[in-house]
Amino acid sequence: MLPALLTMVGLAAAAGAAAALATRRSSDNQERLIDEIDALLPQTQCGRCTFSGCRPYATALANSEADINQCPPGGHATAIALAKLLGREPKPVDPRFGSVPVHPLVAWIDESACIGCLKCIQACPVDAIVGASRFMHTVIAEQCTGCELCIPPCPVDCIIMRPAPA
Amino acid sequence: MPFATAPAPHVVAPSSVGRVMRQVLYALVPTVALHVVFFGPGLLIQIVLGVVTALAAEAAALRLRGKPLPPFLLDGSAIITAVLLALCLPPLAPWWLVVSGVAFAILLAKHLFGGLGANPFNPAMVGYAVLLVSFPARLLQWLPPDVAGVEPAALSFVDTLTTILTGTPPARFTWDAITSPTPLDALRTDLALGMTMGEAHANALFSAFGGKGWEWINLATLAGGGWLLALRIIRWQIPVAMLTALFACAAIMSAADPGAYAGPLFHLTSGASMLGAFFIATDPVSAATSDRGKLIYGAGIGVLTYVIRTWGGYPDGVAFAVLIMNLCVPLIDRYTIPRIYGHAR
Amino acid sequence: MATGVRGGLRLDAHKERSTEQALRPASAVETLVMPLDQHAGAAAVPLVKPGERILRGQPIAEPGGAISAWLHSPASGTVAAIEPRPAPHRLGAPSLSIVVANDGRDERVAESARQPFEQLAPEQLREIIGRGGIVGLGGAVFPTAAKLSSARKGHDVRLLINGAECEPYISCDDILMRERAHDVVFGARALMHALAAQTCVIAIEDDTPQAASALGAAIADAHDARVQLRRVASIYPAGGERQLITAIFDVEVPSGGLPADVNTVCLNVGTAAAVAHWVRDGQPLTNRIVTITGDGVLEQRNLEVPLGTPLAALIYDCGGYTGRMSRLIMGGSMMGQSLPHDDMPVIKATNCVIAASALDLQPRAAEMPCIRCGNCAEVCPAMLLPQQLHWYALGRNLDELETHGLMDCIECGCCDYVCPSQIPLAERFRDMKPALLERLAARNSADAARVRFDARTARLERIENERLAALAKKRQELAKKSS
């Protein structure tokens, strides 16, 4: 009886140790994990997750310093994909970080009101706004990620969000 | 002028699930015929009981799931499950054995998982496994094959029928007088008693290379399986892989110690080897998907069959081997996705 | 003979019925409708206005973008209107079309002087080909000049002329090769010149002996050793571009890539003949050969048809519908588009019209669940596992659909054909592709956004470092000065 019991317990312990070893990640693996997480994120670079970009959020997720439901632009699909990748409980996006957009939105500058101050250009994380000092500024719609970081700096409030062109 | 529209392709081959299943049933006819020749008409009664149960269970399940009875009821898949399970049971088994086994197979192993096309395990084998672990003694009460040299049971058809329906043999017989173990079972017992292979084979149940009667049944199954291969109803990968693996294991072990391990031809022609190779393991729903996956799946079944027969707790290992490999199919599928045109080699 | 396609099906060709009679021109019609978007790429832009008089062969619309094509009038007459009209390539909504009222006088534009193509530079020849409105006549209607321009030019480029008409019922290419083999060979040689290529293979199936001998004779007459004739086994879909390239050249076109990636340009025999008619004879693309077939039409044959001819007129030209007419199909029996009515024009993509009756159609029975029999995987020419694609399509599992190669499906319908459970597989896969494409597009734009973000971060860092370096330098200089 005792030898059988010890054998079973020993086998179970060995299997568990093997499983734990297999899922542990070395530093190389950590870098790869961050890449894998970053590949799932929408690259909006908006900062709504409270980190300064998508990659910092990916790093925090890899270090278990953030939860998977902090990315509104990614939507619930991204939250679930992150949960699947990291082996955590899937949950919908937490509304405290922002609302999930129903349609993709892009920024649009009302050119009749633009004063050419460069503030929105400096704010755009993906250089999607073209213009120069005292020249017209305009958003390249195909490259706008919808992060809305250009809206607060504008001194004349001439930027609005519109549905992305098909 | 307006016309009704339909999506392409506008021609499809006139095949159907029912046709595929019917071909499988035809291919089983030689097996059933020889089985009746050697072991009497019990199998036919079991088949009738099994098919009736299968259709009743199928109809009940379809009703409960809100699905239409035609075309599912007579698509042939339930009938095949019943026939395969009946072939695995002793010919004189009481009626409630085949009825409960088939009901379990259809209701739990098939419809609980989603019905036709959705069962992860082979339903007939699930039914058999449940019966085997629940009523092990009943399943070992076979008949001796009705060939010269062995005391025939000489049960008439009426006697067979009453035995099955009442669960007790006719008054003038006892169970011990009319039943006998299968060759695999006898071999196992004799080897456990310390006999060598040669001594065990001296038993009247054995003949030149297999068990008496069983070798012919297996050859008939091989013929039926070959016919299915020719019709391209099944592919060669699973039967060839399973039989090759079984042959190889038996050949290696019996070459190492001929006295303790049965030879490859014996293994190939005894028990459910051929039935398993061509009719059970090839159940497409629960088998692996790609060609390479099928080879791995078939080989696994062959090896496990040998292991269970030789070192496991049951005389024939095909049922459990198939069920264990069914468990492995998702993993096998994951790693054997064939290369797609235009993707890197 | 080339080994041909992996998988595939041997199908009844149903082509003898339409190739018994010689090609003849279709009867003239009063109104011709030319949809402006009947080629791949941007829609053409009209050059004419309603009421204007036009001649046959006159350009009536110019390319509307980098990938687009010219349209030429198929008849002389007047522009009746420019308005939306039903068209067979976009059944969801009418296409803006130029409607031509035929005056029956068949007056053509004055022909300009033409130089033999050998005297032109390849780029010039490509530009001239473009001006002929020439697009791929095998069905994809991709602008030929754009295809030639995007291919790598040079000695290792191979030209493949696709005469492997594999889909049942269609015989327009076969008739073309039988009766106008010299045009095909001339066009092939012109295209070789446009690509500066030294290798040209004309591929046909092995069940078209008349076409083979006609082409053989034409190649011999051309005295051009660079042009070869090769035969492939007549297994559907041997004429699929990827399958044919693999059969002839033993290379695989990369997934998501183009034949140009393996130094090959593949064009239909009809396209080659159209190039000949334009480059040699000065006739732009205004006609094409159309097979009218099926048990639902009285006379089954091939006609040379002016573009824009209503399909109803074609049927009338062939004796009208029989009482057994059931389904109107543009294309072949495996991939053809079923049309809701016949008030639609012949467009550059119209290779065949099947007036199908119950004898032609083999409709599906009721759908059953997949029993994983594997017949579909055995016949798939793209080497996919359709049973798995079906399983994941049911669950809308886009990850697994991508892993299992849904985007590599060529929608040939072979899997559909052999399925015992009668599952409409090709239709399911077609329906799932947009969702997958959307996801791939989102991933691509996310990747692009990441690249721009990283570049901006690097730029800002660099500017900051330069600023700090300049500050430090200034401090050093000030310190030196004061000491």
Query: Does any domain span residue B233?
Result: yes
| B104 and B232 fall within a common domain | no
- Distance, in Å, from the CA atom of B272 to the CA atom of C175, rounded to the nearest integer, reads 59
- Distance, in Å, from the CA atom of C190 to the CA atom of C195, rounded to the nearest integer, reads 9
Answer with the one of B129, B147, B180 that is the final residue of a domain.
B180
With CB atoms and an 8 Å threshold, state whether C449 touches A53: no
Indicate whether this complex's ipTM tops 0.95: no
- Distance, in Å, from the CA atom of B81 to the CA atom of B98, rounded to the nearest integer, reads 11
Q: Nearest Cα to C247, choosing from C259, C255, C239? A: C239
Q: Tell me, what's the pLDDT at C334?
A: 94
| B93 and B125 fall within a common domain | yes
Confidence of residue B151 (pLDDT cuts 50, 70, 90): very low
Parent domain of A131? 105-163
* Mean pLDDT on C392-417: 93
Answer with the one of B159, B180, B201 that is the final residue of a domain.
B180
Q: Tell me, what's the pLDDT at B338?
A: 93
pLDDT, tens only, B61-112? 999 999 888 888 888 999 999 999 999 998 888 999 999 999 999 999 999 9
- Distance, in Å, from the CA atom of B60 to the CA atom of C282, rounded to the nearest integer, reads 74
Residues with Cβ within 8 Å of C458's Cβ and at least 6 positions away in sequence, in order, are none
- Distance, in Å, from the CA atom of C168 to the CA atom of C331, rounded to the nearest integer, reads 9
| B25 and B127 fall within a common domain | yes
Please tell me what DSSP assigns to residue B242: H
Chain B hits for C373, CB-CB cut-off 8 Å, are: 20, 233, 284
Chain-wide mean pLDDT for chain B?
A: 87
Domains of chain C: 16-20+116-287 (3.40.50.11540), 367-483 (1.10.1060)
Task: Among A41, A54, A143, select the one facing C452 at the smallest CB separation.
Answer: A143
- Distance, in Å, from the CA atom of C385 to the CA atom of C401, rounded to the nearest integer, reads 10
Query: Does any domain span residue B3?
Result: no
Residue of B nearest to C6 (CA): B341
- Distance, in Å, from the CA atom of B79 to the CA atom of C270, rounded to the nearest integer, reads 55
pTM of the model: 0.85
Answer with the one of A41, A70, A97 that is the final residue of a domain.
A97
Residue C146 has which token pair?
């754009």
Chain B hits for C168, CB-CB cut-off 8 Å, are: 11
Query: Does any domain span residue B343?
Result: no
Task: Among A43, A53, A142, select the one facing C446 at the smallest CB separation.
Answer: A43
Is chain C touching chain A, with at least 3 CB–CB pairs below 8 Å?
Answer: yes
pLDDT, tens only, C100-126? 999 999 999 987 778 899 999 999 999
CB C151 within 8 A of CB C195: yes
End-to-end CA separation in angstroms for chain B: 52
DSSP secondary structure letters along B174-238 = -HHHH-B--HHHHHHHHHHTT--HHHHHTSTTB-SSSBTTHHHHHHHHHHHHHHHHHTTSS-SHH
Alpha-carbon torsion (B44, B45, B48, B53), positive or negative? negative
| B280 and B189 fall within a common domain | yes
Give the residue carrying structure tokens 């079973």: A8
Q: Is C448 in the A-facing interface, judged by CB distances under 8 Å?
A: yes
- For chain A, the chains sharing at least 3 beta-carbon pairs closer than 8 angstroms are C
Q: Nearest Cα to B242, choosing from B214, B279, B213, B290? A: B279
| A78 and A110 fall within a common domain | no
Q: Nearest Cα to B1, choosing from A20, A68, C320? A: C320
> Bridge partners of C232?
C2, C205
CB C423 within 8 A of CB C403: no
pLDDT, tens only, C158-204? 999 999 999 999 999 999 999 999 999 999 999 999 998 989 999 99
Domain count of the fold of chain B: 2
Query: Does any domain span residue A14?
Result: no
Helix ranges restricted to H, C142-180: 144-150, 172-179
- Distance, in Å, from the CA atom of C238 to the CA atom of C165, rounded to the nearest integer, reads 8
Is it the case that residue B211 has pLDDT exceeding 90? no
Answer with the one of B165, B180, B195 that is the final residue of a domain.
B180
Answer with the one of A63, A97, A131 that is the final residue of a domain.
A97
Task: Tell me: cis bond preceding A72? Omega within 30 of 0 counts.
Answer: no
With CB atoms and an 8 Å threshold, state whether C456 touches A127: yes
| A90 and A137 fall within a common domain | no
| A38 and A92 fall within a common domain | yes
H/E segment holding residue B58: helix B42-64
Query: Does any domain span residue B9?
Result: no
> Bridge partners of B205?
none
Is it the case that residue B167 has pLDDT exceeding 80? no
- Distance, in Å, from the CA atom of B88 to the CA atom of B142, rounded to the nearest integer, reads 10
- Distance, in Å, from the CA atom of C380 to the CA atom of C390, rounded to the nearest integer, reads 13
With CB atoms and an 8 Å threshold, state whether C446 touches A142: no
- How far CA B115 is from CA of A73, B58, C262, C325, in Å, comes to 40, 9, 47, 40
pLDDT, tens only, B4-28? 999 889 999 988 999 999 999 999 9
> Bridge partners of C98?
C34, C82
With CB atoms and an 8 Å threshold, state whether B290 touches C427: no
CATH code, domain carrying A146: 3.30.70.20
Question: Could you give the dihedral angle defined by the CA atoms of residues C95, C98, C103 and C107, in that order, rounded to the nearest 10 degrees?
Answer: -120
Q: Nearest Cα to A68, choosing from A41, A98, A99, A103? A: A41
Q: How far is A11 from chain C (nearest CA, A)?
A: 34
How many C-beta atoms lie closer than 10 Å to residue C194's C-beta? 29
| A44 and A93 fall within a common domain | yes
* Mean pLDDT on C52-68: 94
| B189 and B226 fall within a common domain | yes
With CB atoms and an 8 Å threshold, state whether A43 touches C453: yes
Identify the three-state secondary structure at position C22.
coil
Confidence of residue B143 (pLDDT cuts 50, 70, 90): confident
Q: Tell me, what's the pLDDT at C3?
A: 59
Parent domain of B285? 182-334
Domain count of the fold of chain A: 2
Query: Does any domain span residue A13?
Result: no
With CB atoms and an 8 Å threshold, state whether C446 touches A127: no
Answer with the one of A55, A76, A97 that is the final residue of a domain.
A97
| A153 and A115 fall within a common domain | yes
| B175 and B194 fall within a common domain | no
With CB atoms and an 8 Å threshold, state whether B1 touches C341: yes
Query: Does any domain span residue A4?
Result: no
* Mean pLDDT on C390-405: 92
Chain-wide mean pLDDT for chain A?
A: 89
Task: Among A41, A43, A126, select the one facing C456 at the smallest CB separation.
Answer: A126
